[in-house]
């Protein structure tokens, strides 16, 4: 640890690194930035090198539950406990869109990915998705320079009544598939324990992969066709896609509530109650 960011009396709920342009490294004196979402509904941008807050915005009336940058780092997408999604500019400090399509259910995932301009029959250079805890996923096409944001698809996954004695249901999680364009992967509480591969072009589920339990975390490798899935019984699974024998690993002390591949795909970060593990993926 080389420094610490300013302490706030509010609780930090989520955080994301600002992406660098492809092939571009920071110049002398240039700082990398992180954006954080707080329990008071604020979004705060921090300089890592200067260890100071550079911008504070207040786009939400409820605590934040998810946050990310657009792929070019020019916009911040934030999701709240009340289901609202805000799109804000870190350059101007202004919130340009507030979307209430998921209102009433906390946002669990926000993710952006690049796209070809007319891919999927819509304009815009970026696709992004929002997932809420009620098993709904919305997919959007955006052109940030033209201030355009178009709903591309809306998914709602069925589930039985919540089982008795279960305090909280497994999270609803979705991610764009890096190795299969126009496809997203969804896991969550449902009729079956499975991962669903959904085609945005065909508007249908292409295939399903059975899981040993409902997933508690999900990450797709950017370098190879496999995904990491965490479970509530301290299990981490590496699953080849579209088919293949899974590899299961122990080592956590509780529910594997977080897993994330490094951009290279050669390392995987996972976390449970009091353990953070870094995995070296020699076969990636």
Each residue's pLDDT tens digit, 100-126: 999 999 999 999 999 877 788 888 889
- The domains of the chain, with CATH numbers, are 157-283 (2.130.10.10)
Closest CA to 203 of 189, 184, 218: 184
Closest CA to 134 of 105, 109, 161, 111: 105
Whether the pTM exceeds 0.95: the reply is no
- Reported as a single tens digit per residue, the pLDDT across 82-99 is 999 999 999 999 999 999
For the beta sheet containing 76-80, the strands, ordered from the edge strand earlier in sequence to the opposite edge, are: 64-69, 76-80, 85-88, 95-99
- Alpha carbons 272 and 250: distance in angstroms, whole number: 11
Rounded-to-10 torsion of CA 230, 83, 65, 60: 170
Chain mean pLDDT for the chain: 90
Could you give phi then psi for residue 119, rounded to 5 degrees? -60, 140
* First-to-last C-alpha distance (Å) of the chain: 28
Average pLDDT of span 210-236: 95
Greater pLDDT, 25 or 145: 145
Cβ-contact 219, 230 below 8 angstroms: no
Q: Give buried/exposed letters for 180-210 (b at 16+ CB in 10 A, else e).
A: bbebbbbbbbbeeebbbbbbbeeeeeeeebe
Closest CA to 126 of 70, 85, 177: 70
- Reported as a single tens digit per residue, the pLDDT across 256-283 is 999 999 988 999 999 998 889 999 987 6
- Bridge partners for 44 per DSSP: 36, 56
């Amino acid at each position: 640890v080389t420094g610490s960011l300013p302490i706030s009396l509010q609780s930090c709920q989520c955080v994301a690194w600002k992406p660098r342009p492809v092939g571009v490294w920071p110049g002398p004196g240039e700082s990398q930035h992180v954006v954080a979402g707080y329990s008071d509904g604020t979004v705060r941008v921090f300089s890592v090198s200067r260890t100071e807050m550079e911008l504070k915005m207040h786009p939400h009336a409820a605590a934040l539950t998810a946050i990310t940058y657009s792929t070019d780092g020019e916009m911040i997408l934030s999701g709240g406990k009340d289901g609202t999604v805000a799109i804000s500019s870190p350059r101007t400090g202004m919130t340009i869109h507030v979307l209430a399509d998921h209102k009433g259910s906390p946002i669990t995932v926000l993710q952006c990915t690049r796209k070809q301009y007319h891919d999927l029959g819509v304009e815009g250079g970026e696709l992004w998705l929002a997932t809420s805890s009620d098993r709904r996923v919305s997919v959007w096409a955006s052109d940030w320079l033209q201030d355009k944001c178009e709903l591309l698809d809306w998914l709602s996954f069925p589930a039985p009544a919540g089982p008795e004695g279960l305090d909280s249901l497994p999270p609803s999680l979705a991610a764009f598939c890096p190795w299969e364009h126009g496809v997203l992967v969804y896991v969550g509480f449902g009729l079956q324990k499975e991962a669903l591969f959904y085609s945005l072009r065909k508007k249908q589920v292409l295939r399903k992969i059975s899981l040993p339990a409902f997933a508690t975390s999900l990450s797709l490798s950017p370098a190879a066709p496999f995904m990491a899935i965490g479970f509530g019984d301290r299990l981490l699974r590496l699953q080849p896609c579209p088919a293949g024998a899974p590899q299961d690993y122990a080592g956590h002390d509780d529910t594997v509530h977080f897993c994330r591949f490094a951009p290279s795909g050669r390392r995987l970060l996972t976390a449970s109650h009091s353990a953070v593990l870094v995995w070296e993926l020699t076969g990636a």
